[in-house]
Amino acid sequence: MNATSTRTKPKKSARLENLPPYGFAIIGKQIADLKAAGKDVIRLDIGSPDMPPPDHVIETMTRSIHNPNNHSYGSYTGDPAFRKAIAGYYQRRFGVELDPNTEVLPLIGSKEGIVNMALAYLDRGDASLVPDVNYPAYSMGTIMAGGEIIELPLDPDDNYRPRFDLIKGDLSKAELLWVNYPNNPTAATADLALYEEMIDFCREHGVLLCSDNPYAEVVYDGYRAPSALQVAGAKDYAVEFMSLSKTYNMAGWRLGACVGNREAIANLLVVKSNIDSGHFKAVYDAGSAALNDTPDSWLDERNAIYQRRRDKMMAVLPEIGLSAKTPKGSLYLWAKVADGDDQKYVSDTLAQALVALTPGSMYGKAGRGFVRLSVGIEDKRLDEALTRLKEWYKAR
């Protein structure tokens, strides 16, 4: 007979114990409680497109679903036509040549690849360089892989430029450097010279640059966001995560790709092929249609809508105790709170104005004193949210 155990239930892993709670889940719970109490909460906290993908994408998906041959497992490396469509996009948009077979790996949304890349590169004792502030998946993936975080300070007075000279940790432990421009949450943008500086840093320290670029096509005022892979020799030290979520309003479809350094792509594939079995063919077909057949005018018109919302929000900020630089890209306004307490500001707007914002401190300690507002909200609801915020602020 087996020895009896004193345990009454299985314990969860140390990996999970070490993980801080996911910020959005906490806000989500507060919002769910308010909604359950019958309150009409308007969410400016979520960075998800509110508009649908182009019609031809939906039509392609519909046709593909009805094809009886499209329902079995596909290849671990994803649909060849989708890989080709990604390579075609990089060539057209950035002048970057990619081999669709070895330098492109489709993902089930870029977040999946970001976390799995950490599993591919980090053992206990290894580290990721993560900007303070950052999209949480970089640090969460690092912690889940058992790695450490070395903080990369940013200069808020210089468009949140990384300050490699101010890094305090042991760089010999660093395997990965995470960056993201146009940025979530700060909306900061990068020029090619900044990517050059990053590639130089990665070459010097033997680090893989992970450029997370889901907002490359969410841009305003004629700005065009570069790709890190445009830097000469970048593919020796860099991968880029691209996503269809924000580019084509396909966040729920879960489709993206990791492109660039072929060794990193191969390593990521080893992790992925042991975890998932690729995506649904109809989703790949829809993704190929989005990349191959969406005219630039569709992106321009969509961005013009975001830009109008951005301007409307910028005009209201002074009336609600906030100030921000006008963003050139991303879905966000990164606004400084006049009295400096982002947590209080956010909990007050939620409780008293029924408008949800994101506290900057959720993204790192340098985010303290800032709140993030998203333009991914339908115009009428945005108008209502701004009216509520103005009245709330006046009545404080």
Residues of the shown chain interacting with ligand PLP in the complex, contacts defined by CB under 6 A:
47, 109-111, 135, 180, 184, 212, 214, 243, 245, 251, 256
3-state secondary structure of 279: coil
Q: Least distance to ligand PLP from the beta carbon of 330, Å?
A: 8
Q: Least distance to ligand PLP from the beta carbon of 396, Å?
A: 31
Q: Least distance to ligand PLP from the beta carbon of 391, Å?
A: 30
Q: Least distance to ligand PLP from the beta carbon of 247, Å?
A: 9
Q: Least distance to ligand PLP from the beta carbon of 90, Å?
A: 16
- Cα(331)–Cα(182) distance, integer angstroms: 9
Nearer to ligand PLP, 47 or 78 (CB): 47
Nearer to ligand PLP, 245 or 393 (CB): 245
Pairing between strand 161-162 and 238-243? unpaired
Dihedrals phi, psi of 121, to nearest 5 degrees? -120, -15
Q: Least distance to ligand PLP from the beta carbon of 107, Å?
A: 7
What residue type is assigned to position 61 of the chain?
M
Question: Among 136, 146, 183, 144, which Cα is nearest to 22's?
Answer: 136
Nearer to ligand PLP, 93 or 111 (CB): 111
What does the DSSP 8-state code read for residue 131?
E
Nearer to ligand PLP, 147 or 256 (CB): 256
Nearer to ligand PLP, 260 or 388 (CB): 260
- Cα(229)–Cα(236) distance, integer angstroms: 10
- DSSP letters spanning 27-95: HHHHHHHHHHTT---EE-S-----SPPPHHHHHHHHHHHT-GGGSS---TT--HHHHHHHHHHHHHHH-
Token reading at 67: 């094809």
Q: Least distance to ligand PLP from the beta carbon of 134, Å?
A: 8
Question: Among 355, 391, 107, 125, which Cα is nearest to 253's?
Answer: 107
Nearer to ligand PLP, 243 or 361 (CB): 243
Nearer to ligand PLP, 248 or 393 (CB): 248
- Cα(229)–Cα(11) distance, integer angstroms: 44
Question: Among 15, 98, 49, which Cα is nearest to 298's?
Answer: 49
